Chain A
């Protein structure tokens, strides 16, 4: 320890952040060096003056306090109403199913997931992390969702980053790609509420193509303005894509008319 090396230790020393050994070394130097001892005294004084003054910040206005919790209450009761609605529509489900037919009902539900994914992608919410690597993105989502997030390795696409977003009632991982075209990939856990299988299906909503597929209890939805030709480029070997018209009840059409393992995103190949 000398006057030079004290520089790097001074901040953590004053904050009580040095390990015992380092603290003892600093104090030994201070005991033998009047210049540094004086300097530490000044720094300690200044820090305490700043801290004391800085902590005289404003208090939350009462109106804010009220409105913050009012918003939470409104959100909570909305969620309860939705749950009640879900349960009662389950009970009334028989009539609904008879009216629409179970298949059509599930197809309709699936369309709502497509639409919501397209809508949220179009809103361009700010990203919470900005790194292109699939590993970094997977690591960033670690622990944030109930399921592990596997980022598909699209050979020709580069990610811009990621954030958390909802798709309807599902908390989803959202990965945005900037090239070759802007795309958004939603990944969310789903216990078969969403009517999609492991075979990618392409539908369209709000002017986007939405490719959906499932991997066990995880659903993937890729929202893109790529046309069928470019989708085939992105997912090599894909053929026979056909975007469903917007008003079509069918949730989507198979992206691959015949299952081709190599044609799928890498995440599906494991």
Chain B
């Protein structure tokens, strides 16, 4: 009759127990999304509070981690992106361009050279920095797929985009990531990496 539902203390305890294991991964992803520790903390705070408010809408037994990440990405898209003024690919007639670029020459001309081999000792910090440099829509799928290891289906549900879009963004995001990392390796070490020399060094080291 009051039409007013409140959650019990038991609900709160259940909520904390379910969220707690994912706080580290939420935070790690929030840092990658916002590229700023302070904003990442705010984003996690907002995400958890929204999750709590909607906790009675969560269907127990379904994928809680995916549900949390859907809230995280939605919260990010809604509030943080407008402040950072990042443009979404979706705004830019993505539909035509994605398919075209998926099959375009810049894909097919890259017969892989041995020089494209990333060094095993590539620094985590460099990879994280390279992820931060990706455009937002690529960054989101790379974070969800390669940091959080969600399946394409889960990512499609989290971002509300078709699986094909997830796949093409992931393809292009990773490609750009590799390019950045390889360019970095090539400038940091001697002008051109000699794979044999590298293998020799590795054997010695």
On A, residues with C-beta under 8 Å from B are 4, 7-8, 10-12, 15, 17, 35, 38-39, 42-43, 45-47, 49-61, 64-65, 67-69, 71-73, 75-76, 79-80, 82-83, 86, 90, 126-128, 144, 163, 169-170, 189-191, 193
Q: A45-B118, A49-B122 are in contact. List 14 more A-B contacts (CB 8 A).
A: A10-B171, A46-B178, A47-B174, A51-B147, A54-B128, A56-B124, A60-B23, A61-B41, A68-B48, A71-B48, A71-B49, A76-B7, A86-B2, A190-B3
| Also in contact, A193 and B123, with CB within 8 A (given A50-B174, A60-B24) | no
Judged by a CB distance under 8 angstroms, whether B151 is at the interface is yes
Bound form: Cα–Cα A2–B177 in Å:
26
Number of residue pairs spanning A and B whose beta carbons lie under 8 angstroms apart? 153
Interface size on B, residues (CB 8 A): 68
Query: In the complex, what's the smallest C-beta–C-beta distance from A139 to chain B, in angstroms?
Result: 11
- CB neighbours of A45 from chain B (8 A): 117-118
Q: Which of B138-192 contact A (CB under 8 A)?
A: 142, 145-147, 149, 151-152, 167, 170-171, 174, 177-178, 181
Contact between chains at A83 and B118 (CB < 8 Å): no
Question: B27 contacts which of A53, A59, A73 (Cβ < 8 Å)?
Answer: A59
Pick from A64, A80, A83: contact of B45, CB under 8 Å: A64
- Confirm or deny: B94 has a beta carbon within 8 angstroms of a beta carbon on chain A: no
A127 and B26 CA atoms in complex are apart in Å by: 23
Which of A39, A43, A51, A59 is close to B146, meaning CB atoms less than 8 Å apart? Answer: A51
Asked if A72 contacts B48 (CB within 8 A), the reply is yes
Instruction: Report B-chain residues with C-beta under 8 Å of the C-beta of A11.
Output: 167, 170-171, 174
- Residue of B with least CB distance to A90: B2
A17 touching B4 in the complex, CB below 8 Å, given contacts A50-B146, A50-B177? no
Q: Of A11, A67, A82, A190, which is in contact with the most chain B CB atoms at under 10 Å from its CB?
A: A11
Q: Are B12 and A73 in contact (CB under 8 A)?
A: yes
- By DSSP majority rule, is chain B's interface helix, strand, loop, or mixed? helix
Chain B 109-133, CB within 8 Å of chain A: the 1/0 string? Answer: 0011010111110111011100100
B interface residues (Cβ-Cβ under 8 A, vs A): 1-4, 6-7, 9, 11-12, 15-16, 19-20, 23-29, 31-32, 37, 41, 44-45, 48-49, 52-53, 57, 74, 78-79, 82, 102-103, 107-108, 111-112, 114, 116-120, 122-124, 126-128, 131, 142, 145-147, 149, 151-152, 167, 170-171, 174, 177-178, 181
Question: Which residues from B are CB-within-8-Å of A193?
Answer: 2-3
Whole-angstrom CA separation of A86 from B4 in the bound complex: 9
Q: Could you tell me if B45 and A67 are in contact, using CB atoms closer than 8 angstroms?
A: yes
Closest to B50 in A: A164
12 residue pairs A–B, Cβ–Cβ below 8 Å? A12-B152, A49-B127, A53-B127, A54-B131, A57-B25, A58-B28, A65-B20, A68-B19, A69-B16, A71-B48, A72-B12, A76-B11
The minimal Cβ–Cβ distance linking B142 to chain A, given in whole angstroms, is: 8
User: Chain A contacts of B112 at CB under 8 A?
Assistant: 38-39, 42-43
Please name the residue on chain B nearest to A69 by beta carbon: B16
In the complex the two chains form, is A50's CB within 8 Å of B127's CB? yes
Residues in B neighbouring A53, C-beta threshold 8 A: 122-124, 126-128
